Amino acid sequence: MKKRLIRFFAIAAACVSLTACDFFLQTVDQAANLANLVNCEYSLKNVDNLQVAGVNVKNITNGNITAGDVLKLTQALLSKTVPMAMDVNIDITNPTERTAALTAMDWILDIDNSQFAQGNSSKNYTIEQKKTTTVPLGVNTDLYSMFSKEGISSLKKFVGSFKNDGTSSKVGLRIKPSLNVGTYVVPMPNYIKVEKKTGTSRS
């Protein structure tokens, strides 16, 4: 009986050691993925499903807004809610020899170079070495506070500022990717301004 107990505790101790070792190795691997996440390059690919108060902005070219679109925007202002929703497609390029991973992403929406809204996404992505992965980020906010005083003319001008690819010189996006390391969520140190042509800059 005594020998059996000794053998049982020996096996249990070995299992605990292996579990601790596996956890340690997993944490080290996650830390490496976080380091690679910092080394990745972030750029704006395009914007899909862009709508403002039910108006499909991609159908508007060269600022040509239909009477029906103006009616929807006017009704939104009168109801004191001007929802804007879009899927921002971000290209993440991993130039390293190891995979990178992210488990969450905080975002800040800037309008006319001022912070307007913020949010987050909690989807998991793996960016393979020497490859680019497109990550869609859902951005939603309400624009009423911005256009409540200036009215429909200002809102029409804003909607007409978007290009065919869904981008606008009036709108900017900053992101902060994060990764779970062990039981902790570790974000990157700074927000990254995502741009289409000039690459990225950290702020």
DSSP letter for 156, please.
Answer: H
**% of the chain beyond a pLDDT of 90:** 46
State pLDDT tens for residues 36-84: 778 889 999 999 999 999 999 888 766 678 899 999 999 999 999 999 9
Give 5-71 as a DSSP string: HHHHHHHHHHHHHHHHHHHHHHHHHHHHHHHHHHH-EEEEEEEEEEEETTEEGGG--TT---HHHHH
- Phi, psi values for residue 152, rounded to 5°: -65, -35
State pLDDT tens for residues 129-141: 999 999 999 999 9
Residue 52, number of CB atoms within 10 A of its CB: 23
Q: Is the pLDDT of residue 201 over 60?
A: no
Give 183-196 as a DSSP string: TEEEE-SS-EEE-S
Q: Is the pLDDT of residue 190 over 60?
A: yes
3-state DSSP call for residue 182?
coil
Domains within the chain, CATH numbers bracketed: 2-202 (2.60.40.10)
